[in-house]
Amino acid sequence: MWVFLATEVLFFGGLILAYAVYRHAYPQGFAEAARHTSIAIGTCNTAVLLTSSFLVAWAVAAARARLGRIAAVLCWGAAALGVAFLVLKAIEYRTEYAEHLVPGLNLDLTAPNAAATSLFFSFYFAATGLHGIHVTIGIAALMVLGLRARAGRYSETYHSPMTVGALYWHFVDLVWVFLFALIYLPGRAP
């Protein structure tokens, strides 16, 4: 699993490198564009994912202690938080569509700062879109793990599926921590 996660680090790392290069080239423009994102939704979603990760880590401990029912509830709780994350993200996408911030769809290329705004929001949609797909896969995995934990399949000696599924979810959380810092925080200071 860690080998797979290493490939995932470089997968998202490539996107972050592209972001870093263009932010270096257009520092003012990126700060200006980042101010258009919703810090309220971004912060709330970060808290949601951090909490869901906590529940999953707790679920692993519960599964190892043969507390299958508790582990199941924790997995499903984390999955529900994952759904909440996606719903908030969808609301945010809708606002951005309404504000004409979607490159290639309705971004106004004649506006001042259009080049940097277009680059920033291209990164934004590519990175959060890919991350959203990861969240969706993670939710499905957590649902199945919850079912299996409830059936009492895991114990101190056999808990690999649970541990591996949890690693995946924590990784998705970890990626979001960096995306949050790169997308929502720049350009906020007066």
The interface region with another protein, picked from 61-69, 78-86, 99-107, 154-162 by CB under 8 A, is 61-69
Q: From the CB of 80, what's the least distance to another protein, in Å?
A: 17
- Check residue 75 for interaction with another protein (CB under 8 A): no
Stretch touching another protein by CB under 8 A, among 114-122, 126-134, 137-145, 161-169? 161-169
| Residue 107: closest CA among 116, 118, 98 | 118
Output 57 or 107, the one with its CB closest to another protein: 57
**Are residues 116 and 29 in contact, defined by beta-carbon separation less than 8 angstroms?**
yes
Binding-site member from 51, 95, 113, 122 for another protein (CB under 8 A): 51
Give yes or no for residue 157 binding another protein (CB under 8 A): no
For the CB of residue 9, give the shortest distance to another protein in the complex, in Å: 3
Stretch touching another protein by CB under 8 A, among 94-102, 111-119, 127-135, 173-181: 173-181
Question: Cα(105)–Cα(109) distance, rounded to whole angstroms?
Answer: 11
Buried b vs exposed e over 148-176: b needs ≥16 C-beta within 10 Å? bbbeeebeeeebebbebbbbbbbbbbbbb
- Interacting residues of 127 by C-beta distance below 8 A, sequence separation 6+: 12, 15, 16, 19, 179, 183
Nearest to 125 by CA among 98, 169, 89: 89
Does residue number 181 form part of the binding site for another protein (CB under 8 A)? yes
Residue 10 near another protein by CB under 8 A: yes
Longest Cα–Cα distance of the chain, Å, equals: 62
- Cα–Cα distance between 146 and 162 in angstroms, integer? 9
What are the residues binding another protein (CB under 8 A)? 2-3, 5-10, 13-14, 16-17, 20-21, 24-25, 39, 43, 46-47, 50-51, 53-54, 56-58, 60-62, 65, 67, 69-70, 163, 166-167, 170-171, 173-174, 177-178, 180-181, 184-186, 188-190
